[in-house]
Amino acid sequence: MSDSVGELSEQFENAEQQRESATFGIWVFIATELMFFGPLFLGYLYGRVHFGHAFALASGRTHIWLGTLNTAVLLTSSLSMALAARAAQAGERKALARLLLTTAALGVLFLGVKGWEYYQEWQEALVPGRRFAFAAPFAAGAQYFFYLYYLLTGVHALHLLIGIGCVILLRRRAGRGEYGSAYSTPVEIAGLYWHFVDIVWIFLYPLIYLLERYR
Amino acid sequence: MTSAMRAAPIARYLLVWAALIALLALSCASAFVPLGWFNGALNMGIALFKAALVAMFFMHLRSASMLFRLCAASALFALALLFGLSGSDYATRIIRPAAWAPPSVSVGPGPVHQSGGCAVTTPVPMSRTSFKPVKAMQSLSSSSSKVSAQATPSAPFAASP
């Protein structure tokens, strides 16, 4: 993020090229992040095929309503982030500040609910390790499921935490009036990162919470 | 980023959000209806559609230049490579076991026979003729003769240790 409003870095011919470069950069980063999450999803697919019933039983022990609430929270935060980027482009300073704060707050709410879920699961002895307790023939598969669950949601939560930090930083700069119709790139690219984090959760939600819920 | 995108009305974002929430409700509700394998397929389909909505409208991929769309497509392609190649490795470990692969835990098409030091699974009864190409390859290989005749006719090629 450049230090003064709308300043053109010398390697770029015009502002449009600078904005395109920044956007391209974040897309390449998002692609690498997809490579980061991808193998974890492959590990999940392996487990789902080889420990099918154990996975379904383990999924039944997750807290579906907390998970569904969290998904709605994250989808709403994506909305507020998209509206914030739009407000930045339109030069609506007050709306931008408000929407950035809303996005960060919803992100913090998500993390809070997730932390509460983790605490519940610790109490219910669903953390892989010495304390893990599950119906005997399916314990191995269930442990694999929960290992993946903590890894996937934990790494996702870390990404979300970094995103919240960026949004708070943007909020401070927006409060100083640094973003307007002439220069809104940081808000846009932070928005792209935030939407990616949301997309990862969109895929995580059914895989973790919705396996054979009808049982 | 075009100027047309800067004038995107708020209503469009709200509409996309409403669709996302509705799809979430559908996904959640359908999980409680016993539909067998269709549950998983439906949930994944809904997740894909939601991701597409977020990508197209929130991430502006619909009106973005080809460069960004290619970037996103390349990432998905690389992921497809991962799932395709690694997945086919895991999926065929019953049919064609690797020399040091542990036997699969629960899923298998039939009993496991020990043959020449490797675990080989007998598939559903197959005629001898279906293995003609395999036998031809075995005759070409430089491995010892105990491979072909002693192996059960319906077993896939058992690697000699």
Chains A and B: how many Cβ contacts under 8 Å? 136
pTM of the predicted model as reported, rounded to 2 decimal places: 0.79
Per-residue pLDDT at A106 exceeds 80: yes
**Confidence band of A129 (pLDDT split at 50, 70, 90):** confident
Contact B47 A202 (CB under 8 A): yes
B142-147, long-range: CB within 8 Å, 24+ apart, which pairs? B146/B116, B147/B116
ipTM: 0.90
- C-alpha distance from B123 to closest chain A C-alpha (Å): 18
Contact A72 B21 (CB under 8 A): yes
Q: Which of A195, A197, A212 to mutate to test the interface with B (most CBs of B within 10 A)?
A: A195
B159 touches chain A (CB under 8 A): no
Torsion, Cα B72 B78 B81 B82, to 10 degrees, reads -110
B24 touches chain A (CB under 8 A): yes
List all residues of chain B from 29 to 58 with a beta carbon under 8 Å from chain A: 31-34, 39-40, 43-44, 46-47, 50-51, 54-55, 57-58
Instruction: Assign B121 to helix, strand or coil.
Output: strand
- CA nearest B13 in A: which residue? A79
Q: Which candidate from B24, B47, B83 shows the least CB-CB separation from A68?
A: B24
Per-residue pLDDT at A95 exceeds 70: yes
Neighbouring residues of B152: CB distance < 8 A, sequence distance ≥ 6? B113, B115, B122
> Residue type at A29?
F
Q: Which candidate from B1, B54, B72 shows the least CB-CB separation from A198?
A: B54
Quote the percentage of chain A above a pLDDT of 90.
Answer: 72
**Confidence band of A86 (pLDDT split at 50, 70, 90):** very high
Model confidence pLDDT, tens digit, residues B23-33: 999 999 999 99
| Residue B121 phi, psi dihedral angles, 5° rounding | -95, 135
Are A85 and A26 spatial neighbours (Cβ–Cβ below 8 Å)? Answer: no
> Residue type at A162?
I
DSSP letter at A144? H
Per-residue pLDDT at A56 exceeds 70: yes
Per-residue pLDDT at B106 exceeds 50: no
Given this model, what pLDDT does residue A178 score? 85
Q: Which candidate from B17, B20, B71 shows the least CB-CB separation from A24?
A: B71
Model confidence pLDDT, tens digit, residues B42-71: 999 999 999 999 999 999 888 888 888 899
A36 touches chain B (CB under 8 A): no
The mean pLDDT of A32-47, rounded to a whole number, is 93
- CA nearest A33 in B: which residue? B75
B70 touches chain A (CB under 8 A): no
Neighbouring residues of B13: CB distance < 8 A, sequence distance ≥ 6? A79, A82, A83, A86, B57, B58
- C-alpha distance from A135 to closest chain B C-alpha (Å): 16
Neighbouring residues of A60: CB distance < 8 A, sequence distance ≥ 6? A211, A212, A213, A215
Contact B51 A202 (CB under 8 A): yes
Q: Write out chain B residues lying below 8 Å of A71, CB-based.
A: 24
Q: Which candidate from A42, A71, A213 shows the least CB-CB separation from B87?
A: A42
**Confidence band of B96 (pLDDT split at 50, 70, 90):** low
Model confidence pLDDT, tens digit, residues A2-34: 444 567 888 888 888 888 999 999 999 999 999
Helices (H) and strands (E) in chain B, counts: 5, 2
Per-residue pLDDT at A179 exceeds 60: yes
Model confidence pLDDT, tens digit, residues A136-152: 888 889 999 999 999 99
Q: Write out chain B residues lying below 8 Å of A52, CB-based.
A: 106-107
**Confidence band of A157 (pLDDT split at 50, 70, 90):** very high
Q: Which candidate from B13, B28, B82 shows the least CB-CB separation from A39?
A: B82
